[in-house]
Structure 1
Amino acid sequence: MTLARLTLAAASMLPLAANATTVRVHYDSPKGGLAIRGDKGPMSWSKGADANSGDGKVWTYTWPDELGEVLMKPALGDDKVAIGGAYRLAAGSTRDIYPFFGAPFGKVKIIPDFASPQLKNSRKLRIYLPPSYDENRAKRYPVLYMHDGQNLFDARTAAFGVEWGIDETVNRLVATGVMEEIIVVGIDNTPARVDEYTPCCDPQYGGGQLDTYQRFVLDTVKPYIDSTLRTLSGKESTAIMGSSLGGIASVSIAQKNAAVFSKAASLSGSFWWNKEALVTTLPPRLPVKFYLDAGTVKDGLEETIKMRDALQKQGYRQDADLFYHVAEGATHNEKSWAARVDKPLAWFFPWQ
């Protein structure tokens, strides 16, 4: 063995050596062991270097800072490499990662008759749990809250028989290393959808129960999700998204609760509501990322452009805390939203 390899081998035995880069892999593998594949040192993409563990649950591997930035992935046994993208570790860093090795397919569970004491009604919650949820129980996840839950996962319950395909889209983006795993909470609408998703009050359509619906999301839905699932409950890991009236609901809720949500997406948002009041009465710039889009075919593009311009006047900047997108040829329906929902998902929850 060369001197360089001896040095690297010795370094790998030290969990937190000085002037060394360390990865800690959280994965319960008491018998199979775990190896690190990568692009430098004793690691390669075809053969891993053995990681060390005292309990079979946290596996540590260390290499000298001299290797510089390293791309790596954990491997289980000889043939299973972690699903998703490679991890990029800067020299001198210590990184905790939570991989999974099984099929990259999440699952949807339904909570029936979920009561709202604020609105005096009930509805279903449709919850997408990511692929690793049952496999790696050490991991916690960001959460995306979405309105019109019955349209998200199942064509049989979706409006006009077309679903968003959120589960399939997230599965694909996770498997290809585009986005992180997340939990998605779909909150079904009710016959009072127009009222619940809108601030007061449009001259033609009325509305005005959004503040009450907001309290339902914040005081009932989110506490339930955080107490029953392995979530990352802080602001930076919490987003809200919807389309049409659900789009303006998402923007308004995030504006009023910037301490809870760091990201809000409006697909084809109904910014015409109440004579464009949401456009003309913006609060000062907030520490929230906003995604806005609209299609070019009868989809409220003119009002969405006005909302974008108003946000930019407040200091929001494209690709920093504002993502504005025009969907050429798209109209106001689930098929169009399904075709581009990957954009806010990847922007809100990018890999690493």
Structure 2
Amino acid sequence: MRWLLAIAALLFALAAPASAQGRFVEFDQPADIGQVHVTVWLPPGYDRDTKRRYPVLYMHDGQNVFFPKRSNFNKVWAADKAALKLIESRKVAPFMIVAVDHPGATRYLRYFPTRVVSGAFRQGIEGFAKGKLAGDDYLTFLAGTLKPEIDKRYRTRSQPRYTAVAGSSMGGLISLYALTERADVFGKAAAVSTHSPLIDPGLLGQQPAMAEGVKSDWRRYLSTRLGAPQGRRLWMDHGTETLDANYAPYQAVLDEGVAAAGWTRGTDFESRVYKGTAHEENAWAARLPEVLGWLLADWKK
């Protein structure tokens, strides 16, 4: 009998970590923008507590969120690990993560915040990128197709306060854009290593007039579209190495524009600089618990 109990205990110990880590569900979502692969992470306890409803964090570049083998650079955000750390420490209540794959070659077009630029500059970007800026189409997919599907399949808390969006680089841009353009859906956004120059910062360095034009477009956009926070929360950050080394002058314009719209730093929005960090997934994974700990701090129940 004793050896049977020992085997049972061993089997339980081997099985426990799987359920304790949550579980993944993957599916392909048909859409007007083309079929999109989606990975859902359900936190521990989702299958056990069938009455509980969960906030949801939507993340872009889904290939790089969970699984190194699917990632572009064999490194990931490890977002499920960051979520577990926050949940286990009771800093944030259990929540779901929905990772949305990028489309590959047309990623830049899909994640571009369309309304930020206009006129000849927009036409020039589309000509260089060889396609239509599709940020609005992507937001329509997220808000009008994917979110309703997630709300139908899972026990979510569907209000904007409990719906967050996060991404890095161009994914940071589209996250900020989602918070601005679809405040009826998204109440929180993390724009990590935000690609605030919008285009190649090396080109902007060679053309000061164009760089000033980007800053002017940001000022116009934020002053006319962002509005007062009204319960929304926004995190922005960047490093100081590799591509992130170019972001500070443009991020300063974003910080000023957000504050001018009535957002209070430390309460409604945060903007951080991570000295010595580069534009890559390991750096983002390292600070993700801090990012989400601040952004999702009111997800307590």
TM-score, structure 2 normalization:
0.78
Deviations 1:48-84 (A, max 9, x none): xxxxxxxxxxxxxxxxxxxxxxxxxxxxxxxxxxxxx
Seen in structure 2, the aligned counterparts of structure 1 residues 208 and 237 have a Cα distance that, compared at 3 Å, is same
Match of 1:176 in 2: 89
Match of 2:26 among 103, 110, 122: 110
- Deviation for aligned residue 1:279: 4.3
Q: State whether residues 104 and 174 of structure 1, in contact with CA within 8 Å, keep that contact through their aligned partners in structure 2.
A: no
Match of 1:296 among 230, 236, 240: 240
Match of 2:154 in 1: 229
Quick check: which one's helix share is greater? 2
- Between the aligned partners of 2:218 and 2:37, the Cα distance in structure 1 is 29
Correspondence 1:269 to 2:209: no
Paired amino acid for 1:203: G
Helix, strand or coil: the match of 1:325? strand
Q: Please show how residues 86-125 of structure 1 align to structure 2 within 5 Å.
A: 104-111=20-27, 113-117=28-32, 119=33, 121-125=34-38
Q: Which structure is larger by alpha-carbon Rg, 1 or 2?
A: 1
- Deviation for aligned residue 1:285: 2.3
- Between the aligned partners of 2:35 and 2:178, the Cα distance in structure 1 is 20
Q: Please show how residues 173-212 of structure 1 align to structure 2 within 5 Å.
A: 173-191=86-104, 192-200=106-114, 201=122, 203-204=124-125, 205-206=128-129, 208-212=133-137
- Deviation for aligned residue 1:349: 2.3
Deviations 1:226-271 (A, max 9, x none): 0000000011111111110111101111101112111111001111
Q: Please show how residues 1-352 of structure 1 align to structure 2 within 5 Å.
A: 104-111=20-27, 113-117=28-32, 119=33, 121-191=34-104, 192-200=106-114, 201=122, 203-204=124-125, 205-206=128-129, 208-273=133-198, 275-276=214-215, 277-282=217-222, 283=225, 284-287=227-230, 288-297=232-241, 298-299=243-244, 300-350=247-297, 352=300
Helix, strand or coil: the match of 2:124? coil
Match of 2:118 in 1: none
Quick check: which one's strand share is greater? 1
Paired amino acid for 1:114: Q
Helix, strand or coil: the match of 1:203? helix
- Deviation for aligned residue 1:116: 1.3
- Between the aligned partners of 1:259 and 1:235, the Cα distance in structure 2 is 6
Deviations 1:70-102 (A, max 9, x none): xxxxxxxxxxxxxxxxxxxxxxxxxxxxxxxx9
- Deviation for aligned residue 1:103: 5.9
- Between the aligned partners of 1:273 and 1:214, the Cα distance in structure 2 is 18
Deviations 1:126-173 (A, max 9, x none): 111011101111110001111101100001111211010001111111
Helix, strand or coil: the match of 1:303? helix
Helix, strand or coil: the match of 1:264? strand
Deviations 1:22-48 (A, max 9, x none): xxxxxxxxxxxxxxxxxxxxxxxxxxx
Q: State whether residues 267 and 337 of structure 1, in contact with CA within 8 Å, keep that contact through their aligned partners in structure 2.
A: yes
- Between the aligned partners of 2:229 and 2:71, the Cα distance in structure 1 is 34
Gaps of 5+ in 2: 1-17, 115-121, 200-213
**Superposition CA RMSD, Å:** 1.8
Q: State whether residues 271 and 279 of structure 1, in contact with CA within 8 Å, keep that contact through their aligned partners in structure 2.
A: no
- Between the aligned partners of 2:91 and 2:153, the Cα distance in structure 1 is 27
TM-score, structure 1 normalization:
0.67
Seen in structure 2, the aligned counterparts of structure 1 residues 211 and 169 have a Cα distance that, compared at 3 Å, is same
- Deviation for aligned residue 1:301: 2.7
- Between the aligned partners of 2:54 and 2:295, the Cα distance in structure 1 is 13
Helix, strand or coil: the match of 1:332? coil
- Between the aligned partners of 2:175 and 2:88, the Cα distance in structure 1 is 27
